Amino acid sequence: EIPNPPLPLPKGQDGLKLVNDPAHPFIAAGPNDIRGPCPALNTLASHGYLPRNGVARPDQIITAVMEGLNLGNDFAKFLCYQAFLMNGNPLTNLMSIGMKTPLTGQDPPKPALVGGLSQHGTFEGDTSMTRVDAFFGDQAVFNETLFQGFIDTATKFGFNGTYDVNAAAELRNQRLQNSIQTNPQLVFTSPRILSAYSEAVFPTIFFVDGRLNNRQLTIDAARHFFDLQMMPTGFFRQPAPVNFTIVDPLVSFLFNKHPFSPGVNHGKNNFVLQPQTPPLSDFCGIYEDIVLRVIPGQYPKPTGALKDAINKNLGFFFGAVSAEHNCTQVFPFGRD
Ligand code: HEM
Ligand code: MG
C-alpha cells in the first residue's frame, strides 16, 4: 500500500524555524549508512529528518525537505517523485539516497534499475558542481578539487565572496564547458539539464540561513552542507515554503547569462546538439520526456501491482507538475 504524499505544512508551522535543533542532532554517517550525490538529502539524513541509514519512502523524503528546509509541498513532490520513478522501488516504496542496496527490497524485473540516487544517467548526471562526471570516477562523492573551484568562482563573481546567483551562473557554465572539453561521454540533455540548473540555484536559497535569507551563501555554510553533510550551528530554514515561483526565475537568470542547447559529446570537445530533445525552457516537454521516454526505458510494459504502483506515482508526479505549470498529463501505460 502506497501512502499518499504529505500535505503542505499547516499554517503557523510553515515559517522560519530553527532546524539544527536538539531533536535533530548531527550524527556522522556510520559505515552502513548510505549517502549520495545530493548534499541536501545527505544532510537531512545526518540530522535524522530522514532515516539515518539513507533509505526512505517518498512521503518521508517529502516531509523531510518540507520540515528541514521548507520546500513547498508541490516542489518537494516534483523532485521526489521524479527521483523515485527513476531510482526507487515501486513495489516496496523505498529508495536509496545513494548507491543501490538490498535494503530497498526485491527488484521489479529488468530493465528496472532501482539504482538509488547515485545511479548515473537517471536523475544523477554530468557537470555537477562538487561531484565528478561518472566517466572520471565516483559521481556521488564530494570532491575537494571541485569545491575549490566553487570557492574560486564565488570569490571572483559572488557578492563579498559568497555563492550568489552571479557565481551560480558562472559556475554552471564553467562546469558545462569543462565537461565539453574533457568528458568524451558527456550527456547534457533532458532531464539532466533541468536538475543541473535547479541545483545550481538551490544552495543560494535553501542553504542560506532563513533569518538572513539574502541569497548569498557563505563558503563556511557551503562547506557544512556539501562536504560535512551538516547544518551550520543554529541554522534556520527558509521563512516561507519555496515553490517553482521562486526557483524558476532564478533558473532563467542563470540560463540567460550563458544560454546553451542540449547535446551529447561524441568524443572530447565534440558537443553534438540534440535539437529533437526539449530545451531547458520547455518544462512540459521535459515532463513528457521523463514520463514517455525515461521511465518506460526501465519499465517497458509493467503489469499488475507494478503497473498500479507506477501509475499511482506518475499521478503524484503530475499533481506536482500541474500545480504551477500548465502541462497536459501523459499516460505511458494507459489510464487505468
Ligand atoms: C544534487 C536528488 C532536494 C540540493 C542532487 C542529485 C540528486 C538529487 C539525484 C544528483 C544530481 C547530480 O548532481 O548529478 C534530490 C531529491 C530531492 C532533492 C530527490 C528532494 C526530494 C534537494 C534540495 C536541495 C538540493 C531541497 C537544496 C539545497 C542539491 C544540490 C545538488 C543536488 C546543490 C548538486 C550537487 C552538485 O552539483 O555538486 N539532488 N535532491 N537537493 N541537490 Fe538534491
Ligand atoms: Mg552528477
Residue 126 CA to ligand 1 center (angstroms) comes to: 13
Any atom of ligand 1 within 6 Å of the Cβ of 195:
yes
- The ligand minimizing its distance to the Cα of 139 is 2
- Report pLDDT for 131: 99
The per-residue pLDDT for 186 is 99
Distance between CA 246 and CA 180 in Å, rounded?
30
Compute CA distances 72 → 140, 227, 233, 279, 327, whole Å. 26, 25, 24, 25, 19
Q: Which helix (H) or strand (E) holds 187?
A: strand 187-188
Task: Please give the mean pLDDT across all residues of the chain.
Answer: 98
pLDDT at 81: 98
Q: Which residues pair with 265 in a beta bridge?
A: 271
CA-62 nearest atom, ligand 1: 21
Q: Is 217 helix (H, G, I), strand (E, B) or coil?
A: strand
Q: In this structure, is the dihedral angle defined by the CA atoms of residues 90, 94, 95 and 101, taken in order, positive or negative?
A: negative
Q: What is the pLDDT of residue 74?
A: 98
Of the residues 199, 205, 215, 317, which should be mutated to test ligand 1's pocket, given the most ligand atoms within 8 Å of the CB?
Answer: 199
How confident is the model over 85-109, as pLDDT tens digits?
A: 999 999 999 999 999 999 999 999 9
What cell does 309 get?
504502483
Ligand 1 binding pocket includes 65 (Cβ within 6 Å): yes
Q: What is the ipTM of this complex?
A: 0.99
- The C-alpha atoms of residue 330 and residue 4 are separated, in whole angstroms, by 20
Domain ranges of the chain: 39-324
Give the model confidence (pLDDT) of 291-312 as tens digits. 999 999 999 999 999 999 999 9
Contacts of 63 (CB under 8 A, 6+ apart): 6, 49
197 CB less than 6 Å from ligand 1? no
Please give the distance, rounded to the nearest whole angstrom, from the Cα atom of residue 315 to the centre of ligand 1: 22
What pairing do the DSSP bridges indicate for beta strands 187-188 and 55-56?
unpaired
pTM comes to 0.98
Please write the tens of the pLDDT for every residue from 29-60: 999 999 999 999 999 999 999 999 999 999 99
Cβ of 201 less than 6 Å from ligand 1: no
| Structure confidence at residue 1 (pLDDT) | 79
Q: Does domain 39-324 have CATH number 2.40.10.10?
A: no
C-alpha cell of residue 194: 533541468
Tell me which residues of the chain have a pLDDT lower than 70.
none
